A and B are shown apart, each in its own frame.
Chain A
Amino acid sequence: MPIHSPIHLVALFKSLQVSTNGASTGDDAAKSYLDLQVPQIRNMLPQASGLFVVGLTENAVATDFEWNIQFISGFDRIHEAAPINIAASNLDSASGMRSAEYTTTSNFLLESRLRLWWRNKNGISGVKNAQLSAVLGVHLITA
């Protein structure tokens, strides 16, 4: 069992509001994404390994946003992609933030970019002006 270090927050995604008109739903729904340049993580945390913590605002969950995390190589190849089940994640009632974690299966420091993308898959009308905040953290797995 790996020993996880404290979580190092390596990225703070700016908040943004997302509204949809419901016209684009399902697999055709527009995707938005945020890229984190992995070299910056390398410079900060050269021993980092791949346990990520993604935190999102609660209302992003309520609107049935679909979240996914990808690990993209310098050749634009997606080596790993995983859905993030925010709805089933921890909820901090005070802040309305939720957090979920994902562990990579390989050395993500070899990648070029870490991409977090999301979309409103269901096109629920209440999603307008949803407040989205995302934070990524990295664990150092020492054993």
Chain B
Amino acid sequence: MRIGQPIDWSKAAALAGSAEETDGDGSSTGMSTRSRTTAASRPRAQSPAETAVLGHGQPVDWGKVAHPVEDVGVAETRPAGRQANPGGEKAARGSACACGGPERAAAAHSAGSGEALDWSRAAHRNVALVEHPSVEDGATVRLSVGPSKKAAPLLPIMGAGFAPSRSSNPPVIGNPPRAWESADWQVRWPDILPVNPSGPECFRNAFPEDPGASGLDELAADVTFLANYLTTSFSPSDTASASAWVAANPGAGEPAATRLLLALSDDGVTWYKTGLVVANHAGVPAVAVEGDRLYVFFNATLDGATLVDGLPATADTGDPLCCAYTTDLRSWTYRIIGNHSNTNGISYNSSGAGEGDIMALNAHDPSVVRSTLSSEAGGGEGWWLFYTLHWDRDGTRTSGTFFAEAPTLDAANWLQHAGKIFPRRETQGFGSAEDPSVIRVETATGYYLQYAAGWTAVDPSGDTYNNWIVALPSSMTQDDLDAAPWTLDSSSCWSSGYEIRLGNPMAQSAGEGFGVSPPPARSSAHHERNADSLVRARRGSGSV
């Protein structure tokens, strides 16, 4: 399209003054072949008012271009004959997003950019959910990580809002410290607020070019995050039909009354809400990247038909665990992973539950993580899929966290592990646990492959939503996988220095609640305390 507006380029002449030169063979002599992020060229936050505006037919005011977005102050010249291979180029030159080579993409947990991921940096770039409403934007909190009896865990949990006032607790992103051991995180309130919150969910966020640097302004890669939103809050183009459904089904909750949409961010705080609908009547997303596909596992509501567009027709009802994948963020392919009739996906092993009759097989609240498969699953690299199942325990519905394994995310069947249920009433002494969130973290030594997990648990004697707990298990080695590592005991977890707190992966005090006794009721005064006092480190006790 040509509009033909004249532009006054007169002030552009000065731009030529900083000329660089490249050789005729294409090799660069004056400019780096990688993105140079200098203080002058580093992208910086810029309001629209700061951008130079070029009106139709108006001269360019080059003075306003003094502070452009300049991450492009780089020229690359590819030698003749080399075929374009953007992924390979990035791996070779270390792109601005510093996400590594394509080989790392397969190890991704979640990312929107499709860029390869570097888990070795995850220790410095994780997110955390702060449940407490008194934690203000910009506050500094300190994580209590406990003594490293095995290897230090990370606290990489992001949630989508919690009890008690579920709708008023936004997700909070902790801007992690340079070294997690120092554990000062700055709370950041992102501008993406789930109206209909659900359980915690880890997601892998972007990494800086310099893994040791801190500061979100240095992040360059995309982040994709799929969040639950009420249909009226996110304004996709076709809200009318969804809103009508919600109106006709009063009282419907997640996932029936929620919609899964796509938002993008390069810093985890500021989000571009695309308005793209991933699935209707869906929620609790978990994202992962494998190869050139972005996968989204999510809860969905089926009504004997296909409320989720694209899902195969089924006579099942209920809320099955589903999956959608895409290669371009535009078109999606849908699958049912775990449904009531056990005809898809997960191979259930009810005997493995060991907790009574499973009364509802619908798996939900997924969390996926790249991992090493157990010997039962054939070994090798693959994926763990964590999810929640409900079952009948002594006549009372309860729930627990299970996990299954598969070599690829598009596997036709997932092997559910027998005996890997969590929690176990016999050993943990409490009711239910739901909404697992798992992220793989490598230690500094590289000896352990750690899997820090968070989940919400329900105090059997209390109000469900007032007693959510997020806790962290111990680290584990690959060999632990076959030895029921998710069976927590006091000798390896919080009572030996790990701390837990309500609805928050950040610690509060040892021995409180989860696995020890039902969490105490919280007073309003408690909830109004300053975040620093709530989650300060226990340096004095040697837990940091």
Question: Which residues does A use to contact B, with CB under 8 Å?
Answer: 4, 6-24, 28-37, 39-46, 51, 53, 55, 57, 72-77, 79, 89-90, 92, 94-103, 106-107, 109-110, 112, 129, 131, 133, 135, 137
Q: Which of B2, B267, B328 contacts A100 (CB 8 A)?
A: B2
How far, in whole Å, are A103 and B2 apart by their CA atoms in the complex?
A: 9
Interface presence of B308 (CB below 8 A) = no
Contact residues, B101-118 vs A (CB, 8 A)? 111-115
Do A133 and B16 touch (CB < 8 A)?
yes
- B328 proximity list for chain A (CB < 8 A): 73, 75, 77, 79
Sample of 14 A–B contacts (CB below 8 Å): A10-B69, A12-B69, A15-B20, A17-B20, A18-B21, A23-B24, A31-B78, A34-B76, A40-B71, A72-B86, A73-B328, A75-B328, A106-B330, A133-B16
Closest CB in chain A relative to B409 CB, distance in Å: 15
Partner of B81, one of A16, A28, A53, A89: A28
Tell whether A39 pairs with B25 under 8 Å between CB atoms, given A44-B48, A75-B292: no
Residues of A within 8 A of B53 (CB): 6-9
Q: Are B9 and A99 in contact (CB under 8 A)?
A: yes
Residues of B within 8 A of A6 (CB): 53-56, 58
Contact B22 A110 (CB under 8 A): no
Given A95-B13, A97-B9, also A24-B25 (CB < 8 A): yes
Task: Name the one of A4, A12, A44 contacting B15, with C-beta atoms under 8 angstroms.
Answer: A12
* A29 proximity list for chain B (CB < 8 A): 80
Chain B contact surface mostly:
loop
Q: Smallest CB-CB separation from A31: which chain B residue?
A: B78
Chain A proximity of B262: nearest CB distance (Å): 8
Expressed in whole angstroms, the Cα–Cα distance for A8 and B84 within the complex equals: 30
A129 CA / B71 CA spacing, docked (Å): 24
Q: Assess whether A135 is in contact with B8, with CB atoms less than 8 Å apart.
A: no
Contact B16 A131 (CB under 8 A): yes
- Chain B residues with Cβ below 8 Å from A34 are 72, 74-76
Note all chain A residues with C-beta closer than 8 A to B25.
21, 23-24, 30
Nearest residue (CB) in A for B270 is: A43
User: How many B residues touch the partner, as a band?
Assistant: 35 or more
B112 touches A74 (CB 8 A): yes
CB of B261 within 8 Å of the partner chain: no
B23 neighbours in A (Cβ, 8 Å): 19
Interchain CA distance A83-B247 in the complex, whole Å: 49
Known: A42-B272, A75-B327. 15 other contacts (CB 8 A): A6-B58, A8-B51, A12-B65, A13-B73, A14-B18, A18-B21, A19-B21, A31-B77, A35-B74, A37-B71, A89-B2, A90-B6, A94-B10, A95-B12, A112-B114
Is there a chain A Cβ closer than 8 Å to B46's Cβ?
yes
Q: What separation, in Å, do the CA atoms of A33 and B76 have in the docked complex?
A: 6
Nearest CB on A from B10, distance (A): 4
| Whole-angstrom CA separation of A7 from B69 in the bound complex | 15
Q: Report Cα–Cα, A92/B465, bound state, in Å.
A: 66
Give CA–CA (A28, B272) in the complex, Å.
39
Please list the 3 inter-chain residue pairs (A to B) with the smallest Cβ-Cβ separation, ordered nearest first.
A97-B9, A30-B26, A39-B266
Residue in A closest to B71 when the chains form the complex, CB atoms: A37
Contact A35 B72 (CB under 8 A): yes
Cβ of B68 within 8 Å of any chain A Cβ, yes or no, is: yes
Q: Does B79 have its Cβ within 8 Å of any Cβ on chain A?
A: yes
Measured CB to CB, the closest approach of chain B to A67, in angstroms, equals 14
CB–CB B74/A8 < 8 A = no
B19 at the interface (CB under 8 A from A): yes
Structural contact, B1 and A51, CB atoms closer than 8 A: yes
**Bound form: Cα–Cα A35–B221 in Å:** 13
Contact partner of A16 (CB less than 8 A), chosen from B9, B21, B86, B90, is B21
**Nearest residue in A to B219 (C-beta to C-beta)?**
A39
Asked whether, in the complex, the Cβ of A40 is within 8 Å of the Cβ of B69, the reply is yes
Most chain B C-beta atoms within 10 Å of own C-beta, residue among A17, A43, A107: A43
Which chain B residue shows the least CB distance to A30?
Answer: B26
Shortest CB-to-CB span from B404 to chain A, Å, is 26
Contact check, A75 vs B114: say whether CB atoms are below 8 A apart: yes
- The complex places the Cα of A39 from the Cα of B224 at a distance, in Å, of 11
A48 to B274 alpha-carbon distance, docked (Å): 12
Instruction: Collect the chain B residues with CB atoms within 8 Å of residue A15's CB.
Output: 15-20
Residues of B within 8 A of A92 (CB): 6-10
- Residue of B with least CB distance to A51: B1
Instruction: Name which residue of chain B comes closest to A123, CB basis.
Output: B24
With A10-B69, A129-B21: A57-B55 Cβ-Cβ less than 8 Å: no
Interface contact B78-A32, CB-CB below 8 Å: yes
Contact between B7 and A12 (Cβ–Cβ < 8 Å)? Answer: no
The reply to whether A73 and B51 contact each other, CB–CB distance below 8 Å, is no
Q: Which of the residues A7, A16, A57 comes within 8 Å of B20, measured between beta carbons?
A: A16
- How far is the CB of A69 from the nearest CB of chain B, in Å? 13
Contact: B20 with A14, CB < 8 Å?
yes
Residues of B within 8 A of A46 (CB): 272
B45: Cβ under 8 A from any A Cβ:
yes
Residues of chain A within 8 A (CB-CB) of B16 are 15, 57, 131, 133
